[in-house]
Amino acid sequence: MINNIIEIWYWTIILATLIGVVMYWGIGYARDLWSSLMGQRNAWQTGGSNGKAMEPYSRRMVTIHWLTLALLIVTWYLGDVLVDARNEKSATLTGYFAHVLAGGAVLLLTLLRLTYRSVDKIPPPLGFALMDMVAGGVHYLLYILLILLSLSGFMTLLTSSVGEALLVVDAGLLPTKYTGPGVIPHAVHETLVTVLITVVAMHILGVIKHQFIMKDGLMRRMSLRKKGGRSA
């Protein structure tokens, strides 16, 4: 009975969160697309490119960006170690605690970045409508994935014996295999990791194109060493 209630709440929270982030993404994406199209139109009217195209992000957004990347790598590594340890029946509470804390930090940084994105605003688009659309879509997709990844991890704790093991500090309760209500959120969590890696790879390919093929200096937007940039 309790497991059924937990599972119902799990799907309710997942659905509500998914609807919320999709609505947020849709509104933000439409707003950024409109800004991109207006910026491109203005560039055509003035006969040149947007003079603020390489205006940097605020220092705190840049800091959060690199911290999130570093924590993502750490969290992925800790999760990979946990998978091997669980298969070998040698998982520890320390490993789970570290993974949970790192994942929670990623969620916190993601929410902070979304907040500062609204407060500090983002630099104007480059003026290439299609590229701006793709870049905006990838960014919002990353936000959605990071939030859902953290949520699915949290629900895995609630619906499996991992949460109880961490709560009572008893490594003997750690599962060697997920069963019952914990199967679905854990499967979702692992699937989202794969999707996130794919999207991050797309993001990196875009950065490489700008930096080494187009050579437009786009990476300066994410540099902590800049002069005359936005104040935090």
Domain membership flag for residue 34:
yes
Domain that holds residue 109: 2-42+56-222
Domain membership flag for residue 159:
yes
Report the pLDDT value the prediction gives residue 67, as an integer from 0 to 100.
97
How confident is residue 230, by pLDDT bands cut at 50, 70 and 90? very low
Domain membership flag for residue 231:
no
| Digit-coded pLDDT (tens) for 34-62 | 665 565 556 545 544 444 446 788 999 99
DSSP string, 76-143: HHHHHHHHHHHHTT---HHHHHHHHHHHHHHHHHHHHHHHHHHHH--PPP-S-HHHHHHHHHHHHHHH
Determine what percent of the chain is predicted with pLDDT higher than 70.
Answer: 74
Residue with the bigger pLDDT between 175 and 127: it is: 175
Task: Inform me whether the pLDDT recorded for 65 exceeds 90.
Answer: yes
Domain membership flag for residue 48:
no
Task: Inform me whether the pLDDT recorded for 90 exceeds 70.
Answer: yes
Determine what percent of the chain is predicted with pLDDT higher than 90.
Answer: 45
Domain membership flag for residue 77:
yes
Structural domain count, the chain: 1
Domain membership flag for residue 232:
no
> How many other C-beta atoms can be found within 10 angstroms of the C-beta atom of residue 152?
23
Task: Inform me whether the pLDDT recorded for 92 exceeds 80.
Answer: yes
Task: Inform me whether the pLDDT recorded for 133 exceeds 80.
Answer: no
Domain membership flag for residue 230:
no
Q: How far is residue 65's CA from residue 223's CA, in Å, rounded to a whole number?
A: 10
Report the pLDDT value the prediction gives residue 228, as an integer from 0 to 100.
47
pTM, rounded to two decimals: 0.76
Closest CA to 199 of 143, 128, 117: 143
Report the pLDDT value the prediction gives residue 38, as an integer from 0 to 100.
63
What's the one-letter identity of residue 41?
R
How confident is residue 101, by pLDDT bands cut at 50, 70 and 90? very high
Report the pLDDT value the prediction gives residue 49, as an integer from 0 to 100.
45
Report the pLDDT value the prediction gives residue 18, as an integer from 0 to 100.
67
Report the pLDDT value the prediction gives residue 218, as an integer from 0 to 100.
80
Q: Could you say which DSSP state residue 52 is in?
A: T
Domain membership flag for residue 47:
no
